A = this chain, B = another copy of it.
Amino acid sequence: MAQQELEIGQTADFTKTVTEADVVLFAGITGDLNPAHVDQVWADASRFGGRIAHGMLSASFISTVLAMKMPGPGTIYLSQNLRFTGPVKIGDTVTARVEVAEVMPKRRVRLLTTVTRHDGTQVIDGEAVVIAP
């Protein structure tokens, strides 16, 4: 969407189940083989009681909403602030949601960005600034 079609309070979202294959591939692409992600024995004994997904994997679903839905294809990412507030385990279904917070000069848009587990627990909050297409 062009910037003039965006109004404060508009939302868009994307939902995905985080599978073991996602975590294996994400570890491979990034080189982040933290035992919390790739060593089930270590992870079972950790504070999370099992393997968790990379925080940046869940955060990436925010980028997916921005690029695919609102503002949509052609969006340019300027900044993203992230607070990681809970873990995502393999098998969890999460929803990334963005909400227009401010429409600024030069096609800039500020959005509130969250990722939430299916049980309602927020796992990421923060905000993004983008250039609308």
Contact = CB atoms under 8 A, between A and B. Distances in A.
A54 interface: yes
A79 B74 contact: no
A118 B44 CA distance: 13
A64 to B, nearest CB: 4
Query: How many subunits of this chain does the assembly comprise?
Result: 4
A49 interface: no
Interface in A15-41: 15-17, 19-22, 24-36, 38-41
A1 interface: no
A38 to B, nearest CB: 5
Contacts of A30: 57, 60-61, 63-64
Interface stretch (A4-12, A81-89, A102-110): A81-89
A112 interface: no
A2 interface: no
Interface of A: 14-17, 19-22, 24-36, 38-42, 46, 51, 54-57, 59-64, 67-68, 73-75, 77-84, 91, 93, 118
